[in-house]
A and B are shown apart, each in its own frame.
Chain A
Amino acid sequence: MNIKDEMIYDFGLNMPRILVSGKTAIIDNIKKIVLISQTSIIVDNGNRYTAVNGDNLVVNQLGEERMQITGNINMVEFYERK
């Protein structure tokens, strides 16, 4: 990764950023929550939307534009803003 790409990655505050590991996911740059349920969580990152689908999803912590989710994560999707 060159310096330009790294800068875009670090300072892309309106872009989706998600880390998924086992039964935990951490979504950064959350501007708004669009949908929240046991099976699906959709958040607005500013320029795009991020959707996490699965079963028994629980938001462990929400604050400072960051959300920590636990549960059986089946799918992560990204949507373009029209």
Chain B
Amino acid sequence: MISVALKKSFRRASIDVRFETSEPGITAIFGRSGAGKTSVINMIAGILRPDEGRIELDGGVIFDSATRIDLAPDKRQIGYVFQESRLFPHMNVRNNLLYGWRRRAAGHRIISLDDVIGVLGLDPMLERSPAGLSGGEAQRVQFGRAILANPKLLLMDEPLSSLDNPRRTEILPFIERLRDEFHIPILYVTHAMEEIIRLADRLLIIEDGSLAADGTVEELTGRLDLRPLTGRYEAGSVIAATIKENDTRYGLTHLSFPGGVLRVPAIDGAPGTPVRLRIRARDISISTELPAGASELNIFKGKVVEISPPASSQTAHCDILIDIGVPLWVRLTRLSIDQLELHPGKEIHALIKGTSVDRQSLAARKGEAVP
């Protein structure tokens, strides 16, 4: 559990944030570059000194400007995974991994080298020098090194941003496994929505140094007022669901969510496993009546909540927020909106193509991992 209240002025900007997290799992700190995300976690780590504020970690005060408490970074027991590889070049991978572990009191070494090697697949590179590692391997070693120090909180500063896209896809499962195996709360700074949807439970949006929003990922990505901040990526909605059953005959998995049951191509996971999925706005079609002859697969009844931008504007496409038990964004041309005579409050049927579920975004939220 961490509680943070921080203020700091720079020459051109200032930071004033206040938040708490109590649950394990990943809390994403999202914002544009320059919004102050990294400064916030640097202050939590003790690398940057706030002008005023208070930070509590697991009931202990690690910074308090009022009582002049300011623990050194090495006394805070907070791990930090940096954006770029900061492995020690004069030590091999094994000694890098053990650097923090050796400095932790024996009684607090709950996570062992073998645990970390297993979860992160580091076995083949233990005796190698960091200079010979690829970017993705180096990041995995950095994860392991930070975790092995057995921190109470783990900070990650855009750990994937120095990697190219295929490498990112390779590393994401390792972060999921860290989250699920070691139960250390993680504050994850990023400006990539894909990573948040895949990894995070909670989302803090930082804009111009202050907290613009704080809530679950599902909640915040569905909010219209935050769309200028969450950006173009949000041509879609994020839904939390649980696996209801696996239909091996047709190779489908049934997911239950507040709007009913959604059928998607089979995914791994036992019934009851929570998953998150993203549905792109262009993969939903709208009909005012139950389509005749259409299979009833993934058709949900609901109503229009909002049309953005308003139907009177001149753009070709509009985004429509509908409610089928959960909020969903749908992208339609203005022509279709006029033809269907859509307006807020109108009853509609939404047809979600089963194949449109973004498999990339399917991920266990808490509890058991999806392998």
Tell whether A pairs with B.
Answer: no
Hey, which bits of chain B sit against chain A, CB under 8 A? none
